[in-house]
């Protein structure tokens, strides 16, 4: 970890514990359109809402698509019960502050949703890159590259922290080292963010 000059966190499922909320909302959405709940719930992890909606409703009009995206994002923004900081999140942020290491959040969520979920978790990132700030969401690497540029750090010296294959792919495509959660292969794999706090504090 001595070569790490900045840490770039995914938000949902990584820095913020919102997995149960996300799954609940997407299962309700799937039920509404008589879709396979499990398939939708599994697909949406780490992906922007517009991509999930387009994947499962490919034949709707542009106007219907825009309305569904806006509706889902509004529902997400107003469903904060159960949204909290992930285990070890504040520990690792304290270590970063003590070491003077810059950090950012790079998320597939839109800015309004990202801001309310981070606030609900007591987290205020110095740099926040959302779906609204990049030409394409994950697995495209543009979000991570933009965060590195905003922090003034070489991408090769950035550590990405992710909980989804889609996000990990984005980090690697940006030329960054990727630490992972939830049993995904990573460098290193982590059980929770408290482990990363210990590694960075060495």
SS3 190: coil
Query: Is 10 a residue of the active site?
Result: yes
Please list, in sequence order, all residues whose beta carbon lies within 8 angstroms of the beta carbon of residue 74, skipping any fewer than 6 positions away.
none
Outline where 33-110 has alpha helix (H). Answer: 37-43, 49-56, 62-77, 89-99
- In eight-state DSSP terms, residue 189 is B
Active-site hit among 10, 17, 91, 163: 10
- Reply yes or no: is the peptide bond before residue 188 cis, omega within 30 of 0: yes
Query: Is 74 a residue of the active site?
Result: no
Geometric angle at alpha carbon 183, from 76 and 170, rounded to 5° = 60
Active-site hit among 12, 17, 91, 163: 12
Rounded Cα gap, residues 69 and 186, in angstroms: 32
Instruction: Give the residue numbers marked as catalytic.
Output: 10, 12
């Amino acid at each position: 970890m001595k070569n790490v000059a900045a840490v770039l966190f995914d938000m949902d499922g990584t820095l913020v514990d919102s997995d149960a909320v996300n799954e609940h909302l997407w299962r309700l959405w799937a039920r509404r359109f008589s879709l396979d709940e499990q398939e939708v719930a599994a697909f949406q992890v780490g992906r922007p809402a517009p991509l999930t909606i387009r994947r499962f409703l490919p034949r709707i009009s542009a106007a219907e698509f825009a309305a569904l995206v806006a509706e889902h994002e509004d529902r997400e923004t107003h469903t904060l019960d159960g949204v909290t900081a992930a285990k070890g999140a504040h520990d690792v942020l304290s270590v970063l502050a003590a070491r003077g290491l810059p950090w950012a959040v790079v998320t597939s969520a839109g800015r309004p949703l990202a801001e309310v979920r981070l606030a609900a978790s007591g987290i205020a990132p110095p740099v926040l890159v959302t779906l609204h700030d990049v030409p394409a969401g994950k697995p495209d690497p543009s979000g991570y590259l933009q965060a590195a540029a905003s922090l003034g750090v070489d991408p090769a010296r950035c550590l990405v922290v992710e909980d989804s294959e889609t996000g990990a792919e984005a980090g690697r495509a940006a030329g960054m080292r990727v630490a992972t959660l939830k049993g995904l292969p990573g460098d290193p794999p982590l059980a929770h963010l408290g482990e990363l706090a210990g590694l960075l504090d060495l």
